[in-house]
Structure 1
Amino acid sequence: MLRTFRPPATLRAEDLDAARRLVASDPIANVFVGARMAAAGSYATQNIIAMTEGPTLRSMCWTSANVVPIGVHESELDGYAARLRRHRRRSSSVFGLATQVLPLWERLEKHWGRPRSVRHAQPLMAATVDDLNDAVGADPRVRPAVLDELDLVVPAAAHMFTGEIGYPPYYGSDREYRRMVAALIRQGHTYVIVEGGRVIFKADIGSLAFGVGQIQGVWVEPALRGHGIAAPAMKAVAQQVLADHAGTVSLYVNDFNTAAIRTYDRVGFKQHDTFATVIL
């Protein structure tokens, strides 16, 4: 039988369930896209380009402010790159499994221009209740932030973002950024230690889908780093996420951040795969 491949195109409505199944095939790696597809509902098709073989969905890319390839085979990379060239102005990053992101970026770079940064190897780590290290005590001060603490959380969140990405999360008015931080707090997805009227530790659930809660925005006040706060605080975050939101907790971290990797290892996180991120 002749095999017919369709070039990458906007996801058809009839393929939405197949896209969900593809994303759910690796819930730890694909939780970001899973969460955003769930939030968008049927409108998720507007942010997905996919390749099909006859009636079968082969692979896809999430294409909003973040480009995330899922299930993209080497033979499909040129097709996705050709379609994605027009998305440069609306994208701030390309991220996902390194085996897909890095070869896709090789094809996009000459069209999209020099990136701010390429994080080639980011361990994608995960843990369940059984993985957590009993030898690490959970910090009892860690708790969900409340909306009255928004003015305390926003500076910590902005400081973390700027240090990680290399530019601030907003210029001029912070209205939209405050709205985003407030939304996380309202959902119970921001965890903090507050002492002396300031946040000294913060972490967020950035994505929640398929029974996986992905942690992002982990931050310790710079003056207190190296004082043994991170591991007990992360143990407490992991315990609370696992108790209240998900059966698995995950995160990814830059390979050069050896202190953070040691912390997550101590808590009980294990490497699931390797991510890469291109920051534009």
Structure 2
Amino acid sequence: MLTTRHGVRPLGPPDLDAFLALAGRDPVVNVFVDYRARTTTLEPRWLGGEMWGRFEDGELVAACHVGANLVPVQASVEDARAFAERALTRGRTVSTIVGPQDAVQAFWNGVARGWGTPREIRWNQPHLEISGAPAVAPDPLVRRTTRQDMDELYPACVAMYTEEVGISPEYGGGAELYRARVTQLVNRGWSYARFDGDRLVFKAEVACASPRAAQVQGVWVPPDRRGEGLATAGMAGVVELVRREVAPVVSLYVNEWNAPARRAYERVGFRQTATFATVMF
């Protein structure tokens, strides 16, 4: 297939090996797109969008996931600008731009004039990783959740999302879809929690995973139980379980201003390896 202006074209199943090699240059930072590629084989109907590739002399040098989330992959500033130019020809269909800070900033500078005013921009989000045993004792009560936990788990997921994003996932009739997503993670064994009696007091999920890394999201403790060390011991428990059962490296990214969470992750043994940015609409 011929490439378009600036060497950019949509990728498909024949490009899967080249794409996985590209993502594999930084398999932890790129775990989301690696996961999406492996689970969809880059088939557009399964992607729910497109994966764009940028080529130089016939070689894939950068990519861009364009679905509900737009995610640059191994993109230089020049690559991000080329993807932005293509994006301007189709208008905004994404709800979030997220990924390595320099690429996101370059992409946003290229589309800002045509994509409208974002709801929020978070330019500085430390990307953290841990590849060994946690530095603190794991909470032994952290476990995988089951569908029998949904009465406690689902409201906690809604509360976390609303607190983190600033809008409820149920807004505009999204409750059924969001409940299905939570249930999917439970069924996959990617949802973890700690209970005091019947009450959930800590939770976290694996958002995506590859053979080399897993990305954690949705870390949450009820407001009245914060400051007790539940997040630190709970995350140590999640790290232990995920490294044993899912992937050898655990990653996440956190807002710069979330000092309590950053302290908890540091105590567990997470270290910053990159900086992300997010533009939300």
Instruction: Please give the range of the TM-score, normalised by the shorter of the 2 chains.
Output: over 0.9
Q: For the aligned residues, what is the CA RMSD?
A: 1.8
Residue number among 50, 54, 72 corresponding to 2:53 in the alignment? 50
C-alpha distance 66-225 of structure 1, shift in aligned 2 (>3 A) = same
- Which segment is superposed worse, 71-80 or 259-268? 71-80
1:64 corresponds to which letter in structure 2? G
Query: How big is the shift at 1:149?
Result: 1.1
User: Given residue 161 of structure 1, which amino acid in structure 2 is its aligned partner?
Assistant: Y
SS in 1 for 2:118: coil
Cα separation, 2, equivalents of 1:269 and 1:75: 31
Mapped contact 1:5–1:52 kept (Cα < 8 A): no
Are residue 140 (structure 1) and residue 140 (structure 2) matched? yes
Q: Tell me the SS of whatever aligns to 1:170.
A: coil
| Residue number in structure 2 paired with 1:30 | 30
Distance of 2:199 and 2:12 partners within structure 1: 48
**One-letter amino acid matched to 1:221:** P
- Distance in 2 (CA, whole Å) between partners of 1:89 and 1:159 is 28
Distance, in Å, in 1 between the alignment partners of 2:127 and 2:91 is: 26
Of 132, 135, 141, the residue aligned with 1:129 is 132
State the alpha-carbon separation in 2 of the partners of residues 148 and 255 from structure 1.
Answer: 35
| 1:155 aligns to 2:155 (yes or no) | yes
Consecutive unaligned residues of structure 2, counting only runs of 5 or more, are none
Do residues 199 (structure 1) and 190 (structure 2) align?
no
Q: Find the counterpart in structure 2 of residue 71 from structure 1.
A: 74
Structure 2 vs 1, CA of residues 173 and 68 (structure 1 numbering), >3 Å: closer, same or farther?
A: closer
Is the CA contact 1:77–1:103 (under 8 Å) kept in the aligned structure 2?
yes
Q: Distance in 1 between matches of 2:155 and 2:111?
A: 34
Q: Which residue of 1 aligns with 2:87?
A: 84
Q: Runs of at least 4 residues of structure 1 off by over 4 A?
A: 86-89
Q: CA deviation at 1:173?
A: 5.9
Corresponding position of 1:245: 246
Match of 1:214 in 2: 215
Between stretches 111-120 and 10-19, larger displacement belongs to 10-19
Q: TM-score, normalised by structure 1?
A: 0.92
Deviations, residues 46-96 of structure 1 (Å, cap 9, x unaligned): 521111123211211000000001122222333211111255542110011
Question: Which residue in 2 is equivalent to 1:224?
Answer: 225
Specify the alignment match of 1:262 in structure 2. 263
Are 2:138 and 2:235, in contact at CA under 8 Å, matched by a contact in 1?
Answer: yes
Once residues 51 and 23 of structure 1 are traced to their aligned partners in structure 2, the CA distance between those partners, rounded to angstroms, is: 13
Aligned-partner Cα distance in 1 for 2:6–2:112: 24
C-alpha spacing 1:150/1:274, structure 2 compared with 1 (3 Å): same
Q: State the Cα distance separating 1:7 from its structure 2 match.
A: 3.1
Query: 2-side partners of 1:81 and 1:107: how far apart?
Result: 5
Distance in 1, Cα, partners of 2:62 & 2:244: 33
Number of matched residues?
274
Q: Distance in 1 between matches of 2:243 and 2:52?
A: 33
- Name the counterpart of 2:110: 107
SS at match of 2:97: strand
* Pair 1:53–1:12, CA change in 2 (3 A): farther
Gaps of 5+ in 1: none
Deviations 1:114-136 (A, max 9, x none): 11111111111111224x21xx2
- Give the TM-score normalised by structure 2: 0.92
Change (3 A) 1:103 1:81: same
**Residues 122-164 of structure 1: CA deviation (Å, up to 9, x unaligned):** 111111224x21xx22111110001111121111001101111
- Identity of matched residues, %: 35
Question: Which position in structure 2 is the counterpart of 1:10?
Answer: 10
Contact 1:5 1:51 in 2 (8 A): no
Q: Please give the secondary structure, in 2, of the residue aligned with 1:90.
A: coil
- How many angstroms apart in 1 are the aligned matches of 2:11 and 2:38? 15
Whether the aligned pair in 2 keeps the contact of 1:18 and 1:57 (CA below 8 Å) is yes
